[in-house]
Structure 1
């Protein structure tokens, strides 16, 4: 059947109100031989840019509009942009509608609606609109199209149920009329409606993405209205003179002066002076507010200007970093200065920009959360009222890699294949839902700063903290002349500031990160010993293993480890280590490349090395070499063929043999896609080093900050507490008198906060603080404490948790005594809770009872999720020291036969290839956990002894393969518990 274009097509961006994905709409229009397509979302314009782009790519004329649904009459009004002015007015109207939840045609609406008529065609079936504009309005019936074909009706009903949080049985009012149909048009439309639609399309000639004349970046106001290039140059030269003063004898001044002059010339020529000043200003603001700013991120660390403005803390000349990797004068791309801020204060920087440049000139960026496979199944299952246990069984079998491809998940899982046969409608609808946007979210880092009201460029909406947000996602911003600046929140910077604050509080020492000695032998000894837990980038077992093998002794070494430890270059790690240790001495592909490759022992680790080799061998400019490097990485075959010939020709002129030039080219090409950005790698290694420095010099303060960041994560908490003990830090239980929300430290002591106790939240601690401010006698006795806190949220369950966590230990009763006398304490508190003064002579005397260590440790684990006083395994090992067990942490470092004592925390029994039973069990002691394989030959003899929670002494065989540790059970020496 031949269809005609429709005016009121709703797509996926009317969240959960349409099944039509834009790509499917465009595909449908192509099959119907449409010349034009209409697009109008209800109140928003989220999908406009994507729709426009896809329509143009398919030679369809996109007609962009906005739909307004009157909630009182359920009638629709459409505005379609005839030109740029009309589009801009739609942006203003959509922004207003998204900001003011539209419930009525009030006075404010009419004002902005009247303005929006300029440059737009008005189409309506709403009598109120028609009455107000008889002369302007195209009076047409406008059926809402929410799915493409009549046979999709049942799917649309399910979508409506999901949208309204109802079951299919409860959806009764959805008519099967929201699809394309000529027959329906004959029934609903006037005879001349098709002609009118064609005329409307002919009248609309909007070009959304015009050729960009200039970028819309905010204007930085310089002092005394100095030209931005003059002010930037002035700032840089002043900073360079200070740098020379600090480094009188160690640097070549002319090299810095030449590099600065070159960079300033490029920046000025590309008209990016303003950009640098804006970034300098908000980084300067952050530093002035004591917000930790990262040392650098990405290629911007290769800029001397960025270093001198303290946008970065990395001297690019010291580390041989390239400006051209950041800003290429032969390739007109925007600079990309990404800045890390401590994550808990990033919003302050965004708010500063909002206040400085204006509400409508600053915006964060929308992203769209789409429905994945698991959530699609859950949504549909609720509509069909399918049992939750079955739903859980289904979703458990959907691997994360198949979140956007349910069909592939089914194809690779026999359980899902069976479930699909049993619940075909569930899986059919689930596949349809996947990829549909569910709601908007906010881009983690991107911020737009424009030199004019953003509503002249694109629609926006109110976002977090009253700051506006683009309705388009990041993919379409640059084409509109908008520049995305990335202000990222980095948790490790927050940790660094907490450490600094902890040291200032506990030792009265103020530490400036930029003044930390980067060559301390003891810091590298910490890393090389494998003590990398809590260290940014270096914490994973694989990375730790590489560091131990390599034995790093500089920031450069740390950077190389980070750059190599990725898929691809990982294969070169062993070669690198052998060369670094001097076991392989001849490794250069050509002796002329020694200056570039000797620091990495003949292996291309960095993208910068690729650029430098291309320049060295073929005399390419660094800018051109970077373009070639990018092409190599993207495998642009045609361009590579052309440039290869040029490379060899130039190399021959530069005294290289043709054969050698060919070998070098092929070798570079192999490594180009592996190479890492050295600027980024060096910068992030600073963060790693700083953390390792604090761990080495101030372990208590380090762990207090680290643990504050993992409150609620029992596994990480237990790991870090155990590590802290190894560094000689004593762990102190929670204490009701310690009303901090974070871990605190003092010299070699670490104090747990109350919120580590299960059931105790920030609100209880706040009430505790308030009560203490009102009554300084709060901690005078357990009886007084309970009496005063009884009306502030303290109940018997919380009391028990506080008892067994050790929070009441300061009251000088054993934990068992307080447990035994709970009723007596609460009876006293109830009786006295309204008394202004409590007679201390009335306080009962409690019968004391000694604590038993095994009960204390078990109860601590129960209420905290980890052990504090004594790990029960420590006591068990002490009692069984004649068995001579080794700590699991230690035996993982060695191979061969060994004995351990541990608790079984997990068991998984399965069949081997011969259909015999075998098992995998997780066994843990106080130091670490180990996965132990029990082969079928052993399983039959030990199956009665391996039970969850049992404590066993085991003989195991430890083996290592590709850095991974595996263990197999030899025999059970003793069942201890």
Structure 2
């Protein structure tokens, strides 16, 4: 069979209307020897860059088009040249604005020029452009214009399923899906068109197009407007020199006396000038300045930018790179001109203000966020297809559970082959598996890149098509990897929750103590802070709170910012193997020289006890031994990291040659090279590690000295997460901080922290919504008498959302304890209270003398605790295990918190709060159970043999005395159930 290119091919980027992925289309074109291929989405151009890129790589000429449709009339506009491409991007941008809708009112024709070709089956379309496009560039009814939505006839049924998914139909409800939307061979094409005219026309169109999307692109980055139109280079130097003079004058304790700051500054500025990135630095300086002036917290630095003195002097970063031996070449290498990459963190609740500032300053048409594509995942594909076939939901859930949540380097078929249960389901429901496998990876909808922002010096839609995104801000239709090749520079403006936490803590400290804390001025050698870190008090601390990282922090007895940095750099796959060796060396009295291949490396490796931890150390070793420039050394370091064997071979020869010239024996030079090559691939970016370690330290410092305010912010960040909330509240007890339970008289949406107390918010209570709390606050402002008694409260609020369910939630959570009644009394007398409320509903001032006596009911502790857990999610007043532990003291059970760093068999008493059953690799049932006591929650593995013996005794809500085995797995404590000793409560 012979195939010809077809022009109206829709890719999967017309979401859920096509099965054609761009790589599959190009593969088809290659197999059928296409010399050229067409690509035209309806209205959008999402996949154009991917199509052009892959077509060129496979020596196929890409022809870019855009499809218009109106009432079954079709026109495809094709770019003859770059101007034609711009016509398409501008037209697509107009069409992808939800305020614009295509019709024949001729608005769209203002984007048309004679740089376009039109192919159409519509006389109306033809007549619309006859004055705008050359007559011989309008092709009317001469080529096949069938919409192509799948590559081969065998894909038809899957295409029907896709249509059903999009329109929320079942297979029985799908109607009128044509069977002709696939790439037809020439024999079939003859049935629709004159094949000779069709093929001749397509070839003629292809020959008229000569446009290279990715060639001859220049950088299009926003120009910074300097004061009095001062040359931008002069302005940048002025800012830096003024900042450096001030720094050297006032920050004597920080500056490094062994280096010349002005020499480093001049060198960096020279590189920045030569590489053409002056405006880049000024733009970043400007929006960071805006953030600081508007109390938006900015991180100390991120990535390699912290290695730049210019960044530091502009206050883009706050780490002196010379103090920590950070290298500019790791950031901007004069021997490898690539884009600078200043990624910055801002407090996440105000990140949007930065974007809005850029939008306002540089103009709506020159700022854009970046599109992402959310594709159909493995589990969702199974669920979507099963819904179309109306498969029982219980069965669908069982199938979906058998697939992993995250798939790395495994195909759909490989996953099924590894599971006997999945293979069985595949035999029973082959249609689900067949169609789902074809849907996986198809884009379902667009999203927004978490951080990327484009700033251009020209209208962005002249370079790439855009769409209107969140908050009316433009968004590129091309994804991130195609923007730089088109001359657009991405800047990462990231939101970091930990910075919001820091800002909230500082604000709380100011409110409670009227103390302004400047993080740049706190003591970086605070002994109490490091004592807490060494004790493993790392929860809520950025980077350090995972069990494995906590273990490293404790093992190395962290006592400096540098220690935090080293721990972070080592705690990754690969370097983790060096942690025991690092600990051994740190606490031995062996001189570092004993670990070095050559004594000349001492100054570089002494801080890390002879172990290569950082990429910067690799660069410094290459310079020290072979006299490589820092720029050249960084190129070698990159080659090692990427395992670029061709470059490595050349670099090795040059290294050995230059090392011998530098008086190293050839054998020694070879040994050093092999040693570098072995460990350099694991090296971490010290600039990033040091900068982020400051955030870790700041949080640890504030936790140590302002625990109430610290935990207040932490708790506000995990609202709704019962497990984390419960954990943090338990920890607060260890600081002697009073926890004030939710109360109707504290009308708070968030936790409020003071020096010695923490007030819990009403929003914690299940069934009490934000809207009710808002109305309560409004009523209280207008009439404070609402809080005089429970009768006043109900009277004034029962027409504002206080129904029986809300009332009971408030009672059982303890929020109405302030009125002096037992909780059972209030619940049992609800109708009596409601009668009073109804009688007094029109009275502005309630006469407290008329309040009736209520029948008294005594509370039972067990009921109170269970109700508290039901309505808040965890125990507040006390934990039932506390009383049980006293009653069963003869069992000699340990508190869980005291076992987290132990190994061996131990007895605990715990409350079963969650049970997750699954099958092990042999298909036998096992379980993971969550148990808690008054000190901690843990997950305990119950292997199949044990689960078989004790399954009937492990019930949700039961209290058990069990023996567990504690070991370590991946530097984390692991807990395994040995046996149940006693069932205390079932």
Whether TM exceeds 0.5 here: the answer is yes
Match of 2:176 among 166, 173, 183: 173
Match of 1:163 among 136, 161, 166: 166
Shift of 1:305: 0.7
Classify the secondary structure of the residue corresponding to 2:169: coil
Alpha-carbon distance between aligned partners in 1 of 2:229 and 2:918, rounded to the nearest angstrom:
76
Aligned to 1:543: 549
Alpha-carbon distance between aligned partners in 2 of 1:165 and 1:270, rounded to the nearest angstrom:
53
Alpha-carbon distance between aligned partners in 2 of 1:892 and 1:185, rounded to the nearest angstrom:
72
Aligned to 1:120: 116
Match runs of 1:729-808 below 5 Å: 729-808=737-816
Q: Aligned in 2, Cα 1:500/1:252: closer, same or farther, shift over 3 Å?
A: closer
Tell me if 1:202 matches 2:207: yes
- Of residues 897-906 and 468-477 in structure 1, the stretch that sits farther from structure 2 once superposed is 897-906
- Of residues 57-66 and 938-947 in structure 1, the stretch that sits farther from structure 2 once superposed is 938-947
Match runs of 1:36-185 below 5 Å: 36-70=36-70, 73-100=71-98, 103-105=101-103, 107=105, 110-134=106-130, 136=135, 137-140=138-141, 142-181=145-184, 182-185=186-189
Q: Would the aligned equivalents of 1:89 and 1:118 in 2 still touch at CA under 8 Å?
A: no
- Of residues 110-119 and 148-157 in structure 1, the stretch that sits farther from structure 2 once superposed is 110-119
Shift of 1:124: 1.6
Q: Would the aligned equivalents of 2:98 and 2:468 in 1 still touch at CA under 8 Å?
A: no
TM-score computed with the length of structure 1 as normaliser? 0.96
Match of 2:227 among 208, 223, 226: 223
Task: Please give the per-residue CA displacement for 1:439-475, whole angstroms capped at 9, x wherever unaligned.
Answer: 1100000000000101110100100011000000000
Tell me if 1:267 matches 2:275: no
Q: Aligned in 2, Cα 1:912/1:266: closer, same or farther, shift over 3 Å?
A: closer
Q: Aligned in 2, Cα 1:443/1:249: closer, same or farther, shift over 3 Å?
A: closer
Alpha-carbon distance between aligned partners in 1 of 2:202 and 2:951, rounded to the nearest angstrom:
77
Shift of 1:952: 2.9
Q: Would the aligned equivalents of 2:304 and 2:330 in 1 still touch at CA under 8 Å?
A: yes
Alpha-carbon distance between aligned partners in 1 of 2:253 and 2:315, rounded to the nearest angstrom:
22
Alpha-carbon distance between aligned partners in 2 of 1:180 and 1:938, rounded to the nearest angstrom:
58
Alpha-carbon distance between aligned partners in 1 of 2:113 and 2:762, rounded to the nearest angstrom:
60
Q: Would the aligned equivalents of 1:402 and 1:408 in 2 still touch at CA under 8 Å?
A: no
Classify the secondary structure of the residue corresponding to 1:441: strand
Tell me if 1:469 matches 2:475: yes
Give 5+ residue unaligned stretches, structure 2. none
Tell me if 1:608 matches 2:611: no
Match of 1:245 among 239, 249, 254: 249
Q: Would the aligned equivalents of 1:578 and 1:584 in 2 still touch at CA under 8 Å?
A: no
Classify the secondary structure of the residue corresponding to 2:495: strand
Shift of 1:604: 0.4
Match of 2:198 among 181, 193, 197: 193
Q: Would the aligned equivalents of 1:853 and 1:870 in 2 still touch at CA under 8 Å?
A: no
Alpha-carbon distance between aligned partners in 1 of 2:104 and 2:819, rounded to the nearest angstrom:
65
Shift of 1:745: 1.0
Aligned to 1:435: 441
Match of 2:677 among 665, 669, 674: 669
Q: Aligned in 2, Cα 1:210/1:919: closer, same or farther, shift over 3 Å?
A: closer
Aligned to 1:899: 907
Tell me if 1:858 matches 2:866: yes
Task: Please give the per-residue CA displacement for 1:373-394, whole angstroms capped at 9, x wherever unaligned.
Answer: 1011111111111111111111
Q: Aligned in 2, Cα 1:374/1:940: closer, same or farther, shift over 3 Å?
A: closer
Match of 2:465 among 459, 467, 491: 459
Alpha-carbon distance between aligned partners in 1 of 2:500 and 2:443, rounded to the nearest angstrom:
33
Q: Aligned in 2, Cα 1:286/1:5: closer, same or farther, shift over 3 Å?
A: same
Task: Please give the per-residue CA displacement for 1:330-375, whole angstroms capped at 9, x wherever unaligned.
Answer: 1010100000001111000000000000001000000111111101
Q: Would the aligned equivalents of 1:857 and 1:869 in 2 still touch at CA under 8 Å?
A: yes
Give the total of aligned pairs: 972
Match runs of 1:305-384 below 5 Å: 305-384=310-389
Match runs of 1:827-866 below 5 Å: 827-866=835-874
Task: Please give the per-residue CA displacement for 1:413-455, whole angstroms capped at 9, x wherever unaligned.
Answer: 1111111111111101000001111111000000000001011
Tell me if 1:594 matches 2:597: no
Match of 1:424 among 430, 439, 443: 430
Classify the secondary structure of the residue corresponding to 2:16: coil
Classify the secondary structure of the residue corresponding to 2:798: helix
Q: Aligned in 2, Cα 1:185/1:972: closer, same or farther, shift over 3 Å?
A: closer
Q: Would the aligned equivalents of 1:85 and 1:118 in 2 still touch at CA under 8 Å?
A: no
Shift of 1:561: 0.4
Alpha-carbon distance between aligned partners in 1 of 2:49 and 2:976, rounded to the nearest angstrom:
58
Alpha-carbon distance between aligned partners in 1 of 2:98 and 2:920, rounded to the nearest angstrom:
64
Shift of 1:153: 1.6
- Of residues 422-431 and 834-843 in structure 1, the stretch that sits farther from structure 2 once superposed is 834-843
Aligned to 1:890: 898
- Of residues 842-851 and 931-940 in structure 1, the stretch that sits farther from structure 2 once superposed is 931-940
Classify the secondary structure of the residue corresponding to 1:170: coil
Alpha-carbon distance between aligned partners in 2 of 1:925 and 1:753, rounded to the nearest angstrom:
24
Q: Would the aligned equivalents of 1:371 and 1:433 in 2 still touch at CA under 8 Å?
A: yes
Alpha-carbon distance between aligned partners in 2 of 1:105 and 1:815, rounded to the nearest angstrom:
66
Q: Aligned in 2, Cα 1:388/1:958: closer, same or farther, shift over 3 Å?
A: closer
Q: Aligned in 2, Cα 1:791/1:252: closer, same or farther, shift over 3 Å?
A: same
Q: Would the aligned equivalents of 2:256 and 2:323 in 1 still touch at CA under 8 Å?
A: no
- Of residues 922-931 and 473-482 in structure 1, the stretch that sits farther from structure 2 once superposed is 922-931
Shift of 1:906: 5.1
Classify the secondary structure of the residue corresponding to 1:741: coil
Classify the secondary structure of the residue corresponding to 1:847: coil
Aligned to 1:450: 456
Shift of 1:787: 1.9
Match of 1:395 among 397, 400, 419: 400
Shift of 1:9: 0.5
Alpha-carbon distance between aligned partners in 2 of 1:16 and 1:599, rounded to the nearest angstrom:
56
